[in-house]
Amino acid sequence: MKAAGAGGIGIVVGDVLTTNAFGQTGLPPKPITMSNDEWFAQRAWSVSANRVVPDADGKPQPVTSLAKRIHRPKSAAEIAAIVKSLPPSTPVACVCGGHEASGTALIANDNAEILDLIELKKIEFGHSGDDQLVTVGSGVVFRELVEAVKTHGGALPVGTGPGVGVAGYVTNGGLSSYFSRRLGLLGQRVVEMTIVTADGDIRTLTPEDTLFTAMLGAGSALAIVVDMTIRVAAADAIKHAEQLVFGFENRAQAIEFSRTVMQFMKEKVIPNESVSLELVVTGTKALVATIVFYDTFTGSTADFIRPLQDAAAGQDLPTLATAEWNSWYEAAAALWPVIAEQKGSPLATSYHCVGTTGIPEAKVLDFVADVVVGEAPLNEAGMSIVEIRTLGGATQKGRRLPSGNCHHAFFVDLVTLYDAGSKSPAERQEIVDLTNRVVDKSRAMPGLSVDFSGTHSQPDDIGRSAVASEIFGSQAMATAVEEQKKKMDPNNRFRFHPFSKFLS
């Protein structure tokens, strides 16, 4: 690992050259030295599970950044100056939060220049008519945004990871398991963005621009996002939430409970857009049911969740914990302590999803219970989870984005997560193989979409990665994104988007 990073010249942190980000770009900022290994350790939350197994020649793969240089610009002007200073063919990678499943931008290659956007921390609130807006810099992560939105009495369909980069999340559509049924995808709430093009030009995009829509599914493949302005919802859009945590002793119990909960989703939740439900099956033998009630919900919340409690009691599953949240903020921040404990040396991850665009058929629910829950490597990779979610609602009614999430009502994630330092190469390979077996069986299941989400699919899987029409939601969207790629980045400078292979 050390040898792989030795070629890195260092990290670039810029002096501010101008107070006007849209004015003259001037000269690029001066570099200071930091090794690639040090930077990678700071910025990479995890590494792909495919990188901690030997390659085809039996050799270990590099788990660090291979980039020639790493820059930390502080403004659009500095980004433009860096881009203009480089030959037009020089590849450029952008890093916001460092959570992307395959680490494509973090690792890059030895000819690449990385733009680490961590210094772009702007969070500014404003109004347009009756709408509250927030402008978010590309260095902002969800913990920072959630805390700021709380103080302004708002709500957004945010992800659960506190360190996830907002810009990276949005440019893959943006999916919130708790809030999207009511508030849509976060990308559907964007009204403006500032970008720097492959030529180093600073532009402001609005929904009237064709490029604007393409950016909300393939953004880092098309341009560099400096900031984006998002329409904020009122905090009272989220009425109440409850979480029930049950224990299980064996996989058969998890399969039975999951099947019962999915039937409840099918009959009571998916047709009712005033509520959402997520069931998480964990490698630590917990079943976590989270029910979020929106402002449109009527009736008794206690009566609504009672069938879940009865199902657990019927299986003699112990109640490990319960929680109630009465605000958007409490629900948004609920899992931060849990995620903080997910660590490894390195932490290895892979992400896959399956789902349906409408109400799932019985055979699909049986498949998810028997195969996805039943065969996922939860024992072998102890931090792994299966997340079974309702989506649909506002996501299906909102603006069409190049994201498969716009089309799906039933959504299941298989998140394989473990400490690679505690596993032998053979054990790491077994985890990859077990995961791939579930994915391969899913692809063979009629009526089931597989790996349609840019944030929940594994782009470096060999021979198993999604196709463009699935990731971007339709063949028409995939074609539109490809056309923008050819127009905006003919030299393929931004080749480190997770799905750039569809666009180059």
The string of pLDDT tens digits covering residues 233-246 is 999 999 999 999 99
Across residues 6-13, what is the average pLDDT? 38
For 89, list phi and psi in degrees, rounded to 5.
-90, -5
Tokens of 152: 């302004």
Q: Locate 49 and state its tokens.
A: 């599970």
Torsion over CA of 399, 405, 410 and 413, rounded to 10 degrees?
Answer: -160
Q: Where does the pLDDT of residue 20 fall: very low under 50, low under 70, confident under 90, or very high at 90 and above?
A: very low
Report the percent of the chain where pLDDT is more than 90: 85
Q: What is the DSSP letter of 318?
A: P
Going from the C-alpha of 36 to that of each of 6, 12, 33, 397, the distances in angstroms are: 7, 11, 9, 44
Q: Which of 14, 36, 32 is nearest to 85 (CA)?
A: 14
Which pLDDT belongs to residue 30? 60
Domains annotated for the chain, with CATH where assigned, are: 2-116 (3.30.43), 123-235+473-502 (3.30.465.10), 237-471 (3.40.462.20)
Confidence of residue 382 (pLDDT cuts 50, 70, 90): very high
The C-alpha atoms of residue 4 and residue 37 are separated, in whole angstroms, by: 9
Residue 39: both structure tokens together: 């930077």
**Tokens 């996501």 belong to which residue?**
395
**Cα–Cα distance for residue pair 481/406, rounded to 1 Å:** 16
Nearest to 392 by CA among 408, 415, 378, 411: 408
C-alpha 353/C-alpha 101 separation (Å) is 13
| pLDDT-derived band at 24, boundaries 50, 70, 90 | very low
Spatial contact of 468 and 492, defined as CB atoms under 8 Å apart? no
The band of 31, judged by pLDDT with boundaries at 50, 70 and 90, is low
- Residues in a beta bridge with 194: 204, 227
Question: Helix, strand, coil proportions of the chain in percent (round to 5)?
Answer: 35, 25, 40
Q: How far apart are CA 299 and CA 39, in angstroms?
A: 52
pLDDT in tens, 39-72: 999 999 999 999 999 887 777 777 999 999 999 9
What integer pLDDT is reported at residue 112 of this predicted model?
96
Q: What is the mean predicted confidence (pLDDT) over 316-330?
A: 97
Quick one: which of 260, 257, 263 has its CA closest to 281? 257
CB-CB contact of 100 with 498 (8 Å): yes
Cα dihedral 247, 340, 162, 104 in deg (nearest 10): -100
Report the C-alpha gap between 146 and 156 in whole angstroms.
8
pLDDT value of position 73? 94
pLDDT at 4: 33
Sorted by sequence, the CB contacts under 8 Å of residue 379 that are 6+ apart come out as 283
Tokens of 469: 């029409």
pTM for the predicted model, two decimal places:
0.92
Residue 171, token pair as written in the block: 């440019």
202 has a pLDDT exceeding 80: yes
- Residue 25 and residue 199 in contact, taking contact as beta carbons nearer than 8 Å: no
Per DSSP, which regions of 120-237 are E strands?
123-128, 131-137, 154-155, 190-196, 202-205, 224-234
Average pLDDT over the chain, rounded to whole? 91
Taking residues 358-385, what's their average pLDDT?
A: 97
Residue 60, pLDDT score = 72
- Decide if pLDDT at 446 tops 90: yes
Beta-strand pair 190-196/224-234: antiparallel
What digits encode the pLDDT tens for the residues 407-432?
999 999 999 999 999 999 999 999 99
> Tell me, what's the pLDDT at 26?
62
Q: How many residues are present in the chain?
A: 504
More confident residue, 220 or 23: 220
Compute the distance between CA of residue 256 and CA of residue 247 in angstroms, rounded to an integer. 13
